[in-house]
């Protein structure tokens, strides 16, 4: 058994290069694969090509780009629950729970919530709502791994929007305050406020992997936008308790990958032994009171 768990994320542009993209992913042998822009009829074919079990989000009116999560059968992670998130205002997130399988086949007592998301490209308000939902998985003692195309930027990102003549794009990626447009960093700010750790930042600051902060999109020329890769809108987050098990984070960048999608894949690796310690640790968690009282206040058995 390998001593590393590998997780990939990729917005494979509208599933156009389905087979070539799936072939590359399969060669990486991920234990979990998070994907955005899966088309409604592609899940079965993707599962076959990837040799993984697929879980797709609830379809939403107005868009055919779905989020999905794939789990390697027989691998160290086992999907134990699937949660349809029909509340979503745009692309519903794919949301499953996974547990770690032991050498004896027993599953870990703690689960990890896995989320694949694709935030609304045209509304900073909806993006903020989508990011805030993730805080429901950040309660004390809960564990989560979240990947997505956030269509927004990291806190501290400085973009000169005067260089853009694509005014619709500027309106999509900014918000108005005090008479001027500001870069939308709302989702990143909300996730950090909820206690999540961004994987690329952690890798750069604590693992000496500065290349983890490389841009994941923006390398294709668009009329009205400056050329050159400069955007990191694809990001991964995890619960702080899981951060010490992260061993590497990479933005996978090759000419082949650039030709397959307008986003680059992200790869995260985790130390299996450290991860096992976390999912077997006893967390401090709130437990609901199951003692019932009647209307007069008397305790009922």
Separation of alpha carbons 244 and 126, rounded Å: 32
Percent of the chain with pLDDT over 90: 87
Cβ–Cβ < 8 Å for 116, 93: yes
Whether the predicted pLDDT of 301 surpasses 60: no
- Please determine, for residue 296, whether its predicted confidence score (pLDDT) is greater than 70: no
Cβ(186)–Cβ(194) below 8 Å: no
Residue ranges covered by each domain of the chain: 4-300
How many C-beta atoms lie closer than 10 Å to residue 256's C-beta? Answer: 11
Is the pLDDT assigned to residue 231 strictly greater than 80?
yes
- 275 in Cβ contact with 111 (< 8 Å): no
**Average pLDDT of the chain, as a whole number:** 94
What is the CATH code for 4-300?
Answer: 3.60.10.10
Query: pLDDT at residue 58 above 80?
Result: yes
| One-character DSSP codes across 80-146 | EEE---TT-SSSPPEEEEEEEBPTTSPBPSS-EEEEEEE--TT-HHHHHHHHHHGGGG-STT--EEE
At 294 the pLDDT is 61
| pLDDT average, residue stretch 200-228 | 96
> Residue 286: its pLDDT value, please?
67
Section 111-126 average pLDDT: 97
What is the model's pLDDT at position 24? 98
Model confidence pLDDT, tens digit, residues 74-115: 999 999 999 999 999 999 999 999 999 999 999 999 999 999
Is it the case that residue 298 has pLDDT exceeding 70? no
Beta bridge partners of 58: none
What is residue 225's three-state secondary structure? coil
**pLDDT value at residue 34:** 98
Q: Around Cβ 248, how many Cβ atoms within 10 Å? A: 16
**pLDDT over 60 (residue 167):** yes
* pLDDT one-digit tens code per residue, 232-282: 999 999 999 999 999 999 999 999 999 999 999 999 999 999 999 999 999
Q: Provide the pLDDT for residue 188.
A: 98
Q: H helices of 214-271, where?
A: 255-260
Residue 297 reports pLDDT greater than 70: no
């Amino acid at each position: 058994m390998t001593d590393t768990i590998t997780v990939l994320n990729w917005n494979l542009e509208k599933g156009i290069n389905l087979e070539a993209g799936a072939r590359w992913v399969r060669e990486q042998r991920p234990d979990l694969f998070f994907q955005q822009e899966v088309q409604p009829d592609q899940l079965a074919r993707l599962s076959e090509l990837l040799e993984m079990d697929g879980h797709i989000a609830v379809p939403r009116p107005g868009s055919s780009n779905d989020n999905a999560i794939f789990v390697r059968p027989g691998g160290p992670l086992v999907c134990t629950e699937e949660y349809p998130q029909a509340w979503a205002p745009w692309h519903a997130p794919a949301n499953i729970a996974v547990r770690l399988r032991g050498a004896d086949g027993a599953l870990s007592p703690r689960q990890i919530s896995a989320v694949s998301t694709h935030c609304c490209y045209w509304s900073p308000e909806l993006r903020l709502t989508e990011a805030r939902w993730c805080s429901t998985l950040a309660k004390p003692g809960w564990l989560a791994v979240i990947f997505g195309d956030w269509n927004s930027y990291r806190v501290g990102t400085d973009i000169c929007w005067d260089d853009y003549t694509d005014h619709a794009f500027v309106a999509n990626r900014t918000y108005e305050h005090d008479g001027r447009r500001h870069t939308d960093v709302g989702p990143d700010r909300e996730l950090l406020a909820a206690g999540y750790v961004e994987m690329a930042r952690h890798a750069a600051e604590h693992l000496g992997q500065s290349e983890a902060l490389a841009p994941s999109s923006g390398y294709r020329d668009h009329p009205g936008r400056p050329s050159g890769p400069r955007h990191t809108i694809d990001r991964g987050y995890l619960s702080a308790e899981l951060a010490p098990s992260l061993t590497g984070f990479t933005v996978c960048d090759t000419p082949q990958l650039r030709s397959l999608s307008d986003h680059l894949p992200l790869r995260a690796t985790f130390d299996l032994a450290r991860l096992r310690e976390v999912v077997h640790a006893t967390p401090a968690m709130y437990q609901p009171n199951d003692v019932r009282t009647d209307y007069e206040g008397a305790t009922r058995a």
